[in-house]
Amino acid sequence: MATVHMKIATVARDQVKVPWLWRLGRDFDLQVNILKANIDEDFGWALVELQGPVEEIQRATAWLHTTGLHVEPIERSVSE
């Protein structure tokens, strides 16, 4: 099992209403942990931790890129 941290952000107002975090947990064999988020009617972002098989994390990341969301991998230190 692998663990990846990433920041996912909307780039268009209509993306705020799309349940993309829910789809990550439903459509992929992943555990999704929301570490921090800020979502309102105009913009949203979430810092998430994805845990699961490497192949599923890769599939989920590829899917996120097709949605038009901004996806940024996050390096985390041991102390966090």
CATH of the domain at 62: 3.30.70.260
Q: Output the pTM of the full model.
A: 0.84
Let me know if residue 51 belongs to a domain: yes
Nearest Cα to Cα of residue 72 among 15, 10, 6: 6
Residue-wise pLDDT for 4-49, tens only, equals 999 999 998 888 888 899 999 999 999 999 999 999 988 999 999 9
Query: Is 79 part of a structural domain of the chain?
Result: no
DSSP string covering 26-68: HHSS-EEEEEEEEE-SS-EEEEEEEEE-HHHHHHHHHHHHHTT
d(CA 75, CA 52): 17
The number of folded domains in the chain is 1
CB atoms within 10 A of CB 53: 13
Token duo for residue 65: 């890129």
pLDDT reported for residue 80: 41
**Does a structural domain hold residue 16?**
yes
Quick: pLDDT tens for 54-68. Answer: 999 999 999 999 999
Helix, coil or strand: residue 10? coil
- The verdict on residue 40 lying in a domain is yes
